[in-house]
Structure 1
Amino acid sequence: MRRRFAIPLIAAALAGLWGAGLAHLHWQGGSVLLDRLEAPLVDLRFLTEGPRPAPDGVTILAIDDQTVQQVGAYPLPRTTMAQLVSSVGRMQPRAVALDILFVDPGPSEGDLALAEALSRTRSVLAAAGLFERNAQQASASAGHAPDDLTPVQRLLLPIAPLAGVSALGVVNIATDPSGVPRHIPLLVRSGGQIVPSFPMRAVSVALKRNPVLRDGEVAIGDVATSTDDGYTLALRFYGPTGTVRTVSASQILNGQVDEDAFREQIVVIGATVTGGGDAFPTPFDPVLPGVEVLATAVAHLMEGDGLVRDTRVRLVDGAMAILLPVLLVLLLAWHRGVWGFALIAVVTAAWIGLTFAAFTRGIWLSASLPLLAAVPPALVFGAAELWLDRGRADRLSLQSRTLRRFQPPSLAKRLAEDPAFLMTPVRQRAAVIFIDLSGFTGLSELLPLDETREMLRGFHALVDREAVRHQGIAASFMGDGAMILFGLPDSSPEDACRAVEACVGLCLRTQAWMADLPDAIAARIGFKIGAHYGEIIASRLGGDSHQHITAIGDTVNVASRLMEVAASRDADVALSDDLHRAAGDACSIFQSGFLEGTFPTAIRGRSGSIPIWLWRTNRSLMHLGSGERRRSPF
């Protein structure tokens, strides 16, 4: 019993430690495997939720194929960029943010024109950080302490005339191993300074409020946005390309845009031109322009509708990574049948369903971490238990086969189905047969022990086969004899007839068996059979450590004494008139020999007499000489 509970508890503890190790990796953001497993599950949740309408406060001014075709050059000349900024600025936007790197000087008149246009509006220019590869991946995993910001090796800044008139923001986007943008680092560390991201700078300029950093969130104005560790913003895509309101730059150049088109908007200017290279795969679109990714982050900071993946969420992930494997192991230990596996499926489906439901509320619970923590321990424990169960089953099967040799098959089956069978004695009518070898005791004094044993094995096997063939049970073997019952475990109207048929079968088979023995042995032994029908008491006999099922009562005693009658009358079988009448005229098996009777016969140890019948085979008659015999109506 201790081992039975100790193994599951140890397995559950090991499963919990495995989950805790994965939870630690998840907390540190150091598991690429978890990220790779989580990515398709996140995409599936996006697709299940479906596209959402983007907020109204953000508009993309797209440098698209039409614009490039109209201008005839790409990148656009800076005089053209100045024209776009000036046109948008006159429409009173909240801010104009250019997702374009101006790191190389152009014609002086173009640079000056663009600087002049930028100076007349609240504007943000893009800067880019050059990251180490492992730092970029760590940023994508967002597994840093709050004060450990993503470091950049070098910043690519706009040229001096432009940088002096606009705010700067880093446009880097952190992707997962599959290339899907997942996070925006809101703050990066460059040398001794902290540089804000492009989206956060754009919102800050638009609202004229500096960001306020708190534990697990960034607040700009009245809107607080949840952030992951290291102040990274988890992206919650709105839909495919164009979900964020987009206006072609060619419409501005052609004067086809209404004067109020950009009023009170944060306008993000960026390239969507085919082949521009600044595009990312997302769950909704295999090619989403980078400018729309940044516009999505801007909308999150304006509305506070990004994905919540903060310390509290990661604590829930870690707790489930420990609890779920422990729970699955305990469920497997409790029940490995259909209900146990059904409960495991329900628990697993419940967690997956919870992650989907939470995602629709903007909460990004990890689906991969608890599953990766739970599935391997459950599989290993389940496989180990199945292996142990197979070993137990083999041992139990061997024990069962061994035990069945000590109980007749029908009784063994009944006991397996009803362990309390015959705990309370039962009175019922049954047929009882006794068979015994005569002369065997004297013979056993002469034979070696091994030969004696082999003779008994052959005789007992013969008796057992005949009992089973006629649907009786060999209730006990007593040295060179046996008792056969017809009526256990359940009585039948055919019991008496089957007993009569068994008597004849035993005579014929025993004579054939004796004929195969050496003449010196066969000449010294014989057999006798007694059979009776009546009420018996079927019960278990024995002590607490060992019991056997048997029958007792006057019917059993009479059947045993009838063997003496058969021996004294030189008959093969002595059967009571009660058995003869219970078998009925339909039981004609005695036609294979000679039946005579009835004879009133006294039974040793019993008062009075009972009518009996005697039966002999043809072979037995050959040894008796001639004489009148009255035939049975059988």
Structure 2
Amino acid sequence: MRLRHASTLIAAALAGLWGACLALPHWRGGSDLLDRVEAPLADLRFVIQGPRPAPDAITIVAIDDRTIQTTGSYPLPRATMARLVSSLALMKPNVIALDILFIDPGPPEGDLALAEALRKAPSVLAAAGVFKPGEHASRDPGDRGLDARLPEAANVLLPLGSLAGAAALGVVNIAIDASGVPRHVPLLLRSGDRIVPSFPLRAASVAAKQDPVLRPDGIDLGGASIRTEAGYALPLRFYGPGGTIRTVSASEVLNGTLAEDAVRGRTVVIGATVTGGGDTFSTPFDPVLPGVEVLATAIAHLTEGDGLVRDGSVRSVDAAMAVILPVLFVLLLSWQRSAWGFALIAGIALGWIGVTAAAFTRGIWLSASLPLLAAGPAVAFFGAAQLWLDRRRADHLSAQSRTLRRFQPPSLTERLTKDPTFLMQPIRQQAAVIFIDLSGFTGMTEIIPLDETREVLRGFHTLVDEEAVAHHGIVASFMGDGAMILFGLPDPSPQDAGNALAACLALCARMEIWLAALPVRIATRLGFKIGAHYGGILASRLGGDSHQHITATGDTVNVASRLMEVAAARGADVALSDALLQAAGPIRSVLRSGSLDGPQATPIRGRAGSIPAWFWRREPPPAR
């Protein structure tokens, strides 16, 4: 038991260590393997949660197919863009953010007009980070640890100098996972010695008319506290499919049909949604969500504070569960390896998934994959090891049981298995007792080798055991060339006396055949005698603490043993007490197969008085 407890504790410690090894990289910011597993589970939670209403403080002005039909060209001429910005500025938005890269120069008069329009309104222009091969914006900026290191770009593509000086700048890079789903927006990007803010952060700052305050675990902006991941990565919490955020066509602005209240006091994001012209991303709600709506979603998180929270404290909870669940499951398996144990483990795992789903609806992104990936192998390996050990124990116990059956009768073995306390206290009951002994055995051992003596005894014991079992008796003990057989253990029966009588005759028949099969020099020296009696016995265990055996004591046992001596003296094969013969009932008819004398008053050595006894002899074989 101590060894089992020690092995369970070692297994639990190893399971906790395995969970800690998985939890460490996640706690430090993420691992590619875990993120790949977690991504579809996060998408599933988005679907379970369903679309949410988008904030009313953001409006997307889309350069869509209708706008291109109106203007007749794409990209829009700089002069047209200037007119679009100027028209929006007249409606007094908080900020106009253009998700368009103005890298190449256009007609001078158009660039000049756009610059003038940008200066007259709070505006933000898009820049883009260029990453080295092997590093790109889709990399989780937190995968380098919790030291707030930022994603590094080899270069930043900036707008034309004339335009860059007319508006604030922000990079539009979005971090996507292996399946192409945008998961984060890096709020800050490093390029050489410069730190460049993201397009959403710059737009939210201009709209709030204040600079953000950086904290180790987030950003304070406009009275809202936004908790970010390591490296100031902002997790995206999508509102729904394309169009969930208020979207109007740029053509409505250009032709003057857009209502002013759709823009006044709001953050306006201009971007392309034209077919084949704008960038799109796959999200849980929409396989082709326009990139401008992804950026608008990030801006909404910064202004409303309604994004997902997956900062260091949330990851610490994930890491703690990655250690606790494997240890808990190993202890549960050790305590209960039945179907109930596995059902309890499954229930706890489903419970954790339910907790992550409920937390997700409240904007907290707990990992569903990390604790289960940590617990799964621990449960599998420990469960397999326990099954293997259980099989070994079962094989060992089976071997022990087979060995025990060779030392105890099967009926007693079965009873002791079910009731280990059987006969710890002596029991008085009625039983039939048979004694059988080989006569002439001692003299025979003087003339034959020891190995041959053993084989004779082995044959005799096998014969006695088979007949005892066949007649529902048990061999209580083998005493060299003799044996004591009990009928009534482990449980007494009305047929015990009849079974004993039938066993006496069967033993005589088997002994005659067995003796005839022995070599003549042995068979001529051997005979047998049987005594049987029925009455009260005291069944109990005898022996010390290290070894015990079950037997019967009392006057009935002594009389049966003395009757065996009387049978030898009277030249009978079997000496039966009248008590046994009367208790046997109708089965007494089996005695007709031989010669039966009695009842005769028979003195018993060591016992006062005499008892009525019967003497049975086999019919002599017919003369040749």
TM-score, length-scaled by structure 2: 0.94
Work out whether 1:168 is the aligned partner of 2:169: yes
Larger mean Cα displacement after TM superposition, 210-219 or 392-401: 392-401
Separation (CA, whole Å) in 1 of partners of 2:490 and 2:70 = 100
Which residue matches 2:44? 44
Contact 2:103/2:160, CA 8 A, preserved across alignment: yes
Which residue matches 2:358? 357
Q: Which amino acid aligns with 1:481?
A: G
- Please state how far the C-alpha of 1:142 moved relative to its aligned partner: 5.0
Separation (CA, whole Å) in 2 of partners of 1:68 and 1:481 = 115
Which residue matches 1:77? 77
Q: Which amino acid aligns with 1:600?
A: A
- Please state how far the C-alpha of 1:429 moved relative to its aligned partner: 1.1
Work out whether 1:622 is the aligned partner of 2:621: yes
1:460 aligns to what SS in structure 2?
helix
Which residue matches 2:485? 484
1:427 aligns to what SS in structure 2?
strand
Separation (CA, whole Å) in 1 of partners of 2:438 and 2:369 = 76
Which residue matches 2:114? 114
2:407 aligns to what SS in structure 1?
coil
- Please state how far the C-alpha of 1:543 moved relative to its aligned partner: 0.7
Q: Deviations over 1:322-357 (max 9, x none)?
A: 222222233333333334333433333333222222
Contact 1:16/1:325, CA 8 A, preserved across alignment: yes
**Are residues 452 and 586 of structure 1, via their aligned partners in 2, closer, same or farther at CA, if it must alter by over 3 Å?**
closer
Q: Which amino acid aligns with 2:184?
A: H
**Are residues 264 and 587 of structure 1, via their aligned partners in 2, closer, same or farther at CA, if it must alter by over 3 Å?**
farther
Separation (CA, whole Å) in 1 of partners of 2:225 and 2:22 = 31
Larger mean Cα displacement after TM superposition, 191-200 or 111-120: 111-120
Which residue matches 2:3? 3
Separation (CA, whole Å) in 1 of partners of 2:169 and 2:16 = 47
Which residue matches 2:455? 454
- Please state how far the C-alpha of 1:375 moved relative to its aligned partner: 2.1
Which residue matches 1:54? 54
Separation (CA, whole Å) in 2 of partners of 1:590 and 1:96 = 120
Larger mean Cα displacement after TM superposition, 318-327 or 543-552: 318-327
Separation (CA, whole Å) in 2 of partners of 1:615 and 1:107 = 136
Separation (CA, whole Å) in 2 of partners of 1:134 and 1:209 = 32
Separation (CA, whole Å) in 2 of partners of 1:175 and 1:155 = 19
Separation (CA, whole Å) in 2 of partners of 1:4 and 1:146 = 44
Q: Which amino acid aligns with 1:32?
A: D
Work out whether 1:220 is the aligned partner of 2:229: no
- Please state how far the C-alpha of 1:141 moved relative to its aligned partner: 4.7
Larger mean Cα displacement after TM superposition, 277-286 or 550-559: 277-286
Superposed counterparts of 1:245-324, under 5 Å = 245-276=246-277, 278-324=279-325
Larger mean Cα displacement after TM superposition, 475-484 or 352-361: 352-361
2:220 aligns to what SS in structure 1?
strand
Separation (CA, whole Å) in 2 of partners of 1:85 and 1:493 = 111
Contact 1:476/1:483, CA 8 A, preserved across alignment: yes
2:342 aligns to what SS in structure 1?
helix
Superposed counterparts of 1:23-38, under 5 Å = 23-29=23-29, 31-38=31-38
Q: Deviations over 1:58-101 (max 9, x none)?
A: 12222233333444433233333233323322222221111111
Which residue matches 1:182? 183
Superposed counterparts of 1:396-545, under 5 Å = 396-545=397-546
Separation (CA, whole Å) in 2 of partners of 1:576 and 1:420 = 33
**Are residues 571 and 137 of structure 1, via their aligned partners in 2, closer, same or farther at CA, if it must alter by over 3 Å?**
farther
- Please state how far the C-alpha of 1:300 moved relative to its aligned partner: 0.8
**Are residues 495 and 196 of structure 1, via their aligned partners in 2, closer, same or farther at CA, if it must alter by over 3 Å?**
same
Separation (CA, whole Å) in 1 of partners of 2:73 and 2:370 = 49
1:421 aligns to what SS in structure 2?
coil
Separation (CA, whole Å) in 2 of partners of 1:305 and 1:541 = 80
- Please state how far the C-alpha of 1:9 moved relative to its aligned partner: 2.5
Contact 1:438/1:527, CA 8 A, preserved across alignment: yes
**Are residues 480 and 254 of structure 1, via their aligned partners in 2, closer, same or farther at CA, if it must alter by over 3 Å?**
farther
- Please state how far the C-alpha of 1:518 moved relative to its aligned partner: 1.6
1:604 aligns to what SS in structure 2?
coil
Contact 1:29/1:142, CA 8 A, preserved across alignment: yes
- Please state how far the C-alpha of 1:140 moved relative to its aligned partner: 5.0
- Please state how far the C-alpha of 1:127 moved relative to its aligned partner: 0.7
Contact 1:475/1:483, CA 8 A, preserved across alignment: yes
Which residue matches 1:394? 395
Separation (CA, whole Å) in 2 of partners of 1:483 and 1:239 = 89
Separation (CA, whole Å) in 1 of partners of 2:573 and 2:291 = 106
Larger mean Cα displacement after TM superposition, 489-498 or 255-264: 255-264
Q: Deviations over 1:537-560 (max 9, x none)?
A: 111000111111111111111111
Q: Deviations over 1:416-462 (max 9, x none)?
A: 11111111111111111111111112112222111111121121111
Separation (CA, whole Å) in 2 of partners of 1:77 and 1:582 = 122
Contact 1:142/1:228, CA 8 A, preserved across alignment: no
Which residue matches 1:574? 575
Q: Which amino acid aligns with 2:300?
A: A
Runs of 4+ more than 6 Å apart: none
**Are residues 588 and 178 of structure 1, via their aligned partners in 2, closer, same or farther at CA, if it must alter by over 3 Å?**
farther
Separation (CA, whole Å) in 1 of partners of 2:398 and 2:469 = 22
Contact 2:142/2:231, CA 8 A, preserved across alignment: no
- Please state how far the C-alpha of 1:591 moved relative to its aligned partner: 4.3
Contact 1:29/1:138, CA 8 A, preserved across alignment: no
2:73 aligns to what SS in structure 1?
coil
Q: CA RMSD in A?
A: 2.1
- Please state how far the C-alpha of 1:498 moved relative to its aligned partner: 1.8
- Please state how far the C-alpha of 1:594 moved relative to its aligned partner: 4.0
Superposed counterparts of 1:139-150, under 5 Å = 139=140, 141=142, 143-150=144-151
**Are residues 239 and 30 of structure 1, via their aligned partners in 2, closer, same or farther at CA, if it must alter by over 3 Å?**
closer
**Are residues 159 and 471 of structure 1, via their aligned partners in 2, closer, same or farther at CA, if it must alter by over 3 Å?**
same
Which residue matches 1:331? 332
Q: Which amino acid aligns with 1:389?
A: D
Separation (CA, whole Å) in 2 of partners of 1:34 and 1:588 = 85
Separation (CA, whole Å) in 2 of partners of 1:142 and 1:560 = 89
Percent sequence identity is: 68
Separation (CA, whole Å) in 2 of partners of 1:277 and 1:429 = 101
Q: Which amino acid aligns with 1:230?
A: G
Separation (CA, whole Å) in 2 of partners of 1:488 and 1:271 = 95
- Please state how far the C-alpha of 1:219 moved relative to its aligned partner: 1.2
Which residue matches 1:603? 604
Which residue matches 1:631? none
- Please state how far the C-alpha of 1:309 moved relative to its aligned partner: 0.9
Separation (CA, whole Å) in 2 of partners of 1:589 and 1:553 = 28
Contact 1:140/1:176, CA 8 A, preserved across alignment: no
